[in-house]
Structure 1
Amino acid sequence: MPRWLVWSPVWGLLGLTAVLGWREGRAFVTMTEGDVIAAYAQRYVAQAGPGARPSDCTAEPGGAAWLVIRCGRGPVMEYHVSRFGWLKRITGPAGRDILEGPKT
């Protein structure tokens, strides 16, 4: 069996890893605060139902999170988001944790 044929799966995996790493890195570098706020505002509208609007959401820098996005006119939902755009925690009305993501 030729040597190049033996090593071809290794080179194929290395190439696939390079392409996937480039894609994820590019998505991370080009992600802005506005993109994240718009995505979580749409999530809020889908969760809250009729009467909810994306304009109900505001954001500010967080302490342990990159952004804290607050949505709602009455009871407020807070989305704590990491720099990668991942949801760390959702806090519902009365400061109750609804979902907590992985500790990073």
Structure 2
Amino acid sequence: MRVIYWGPFVLLTLVLAGIGFRYGVMRQGITETDVITLYAQRYLADHAASGLEGVPRTTDCSARPGNGPWTWLVVTCGVADEHDAALFRYEVNWLGGLIRHSGPTPRLPGAPKT
């Protein structure tokens, strides 16, 4: 066989190996504690933007394993009440990226009162 026919196959194999190596190196340094801390900091910002009452703390957050094949952790932040209206949930993938976020929506600034 001719070498030119195998060139694209070899090139594609090398590119996929490089991508796999890159993601492996990225995943190696991420711990559950890092992810929980990152999303606890995001919770503080989201809580402030939503205009909810109370003082948020990073200790309001906890994590559990994810349900789906792509979800690594589900970080839940907030003080649970009878309606769970003030809970923020962050679903995180294996690389620490946000898959889905749920929680109170940010309040839009109202009209100025004079």
**Which TM-score applies when normalising by structure 1?**
0.62
> Where do 5+ consecutive residues of structure 1 fail to align?
1-17, 97-104
2:79 is the counterpart of 1:73? yes
Instruction: State the match for 1:57 in structure 2.
Output: 61
The aligned residue for residue 27 of structure 2 is 28
| Alpha-carbon distance between aligned partners in 2 of 1:48 and 1:79, rounded to the nearest angstrom | 13
Identity of aligned residues (%): 42
Whose helix proportion is higher, 1 or 2? 1
TM-score for both structures, normalised by structure 2: 0.57
Output one character per residue of 1:31-50: Cα deviation in whole Å (capped at 9) or x when no partner: 00000000000000111127
Look up the equivalent residue of 2:59 and give its one-letter code: S
Does residue 87 of the first structure (1) align with residue 98 of the second (2)?
Answer: yes
Higher relative contact order (CA 8 A, sep 6+): 2
Q: Which aligned runs of 4 or more in structure 1 are off by greater than 3 angstroms?
A: 20-25
Aligned to 1:100: none
Number of equivalences: 77
Moved more, 30-39 or 46-55: 46-55
Q: Which runs of 5+ in 2 are unaligned?
A: 1-17, 49-53, 81-85, 106-114
Q: Deviations over 1:46-84 (max 9, x none)?
A: 111271111000000011110000001141111000001
- Separation of aligned partners in 1, 2:90 and 2:39: 8
Q: CA-atom RMSD, angstroms? A: 2.5
Q: Larger % of strand: which?
A: 1
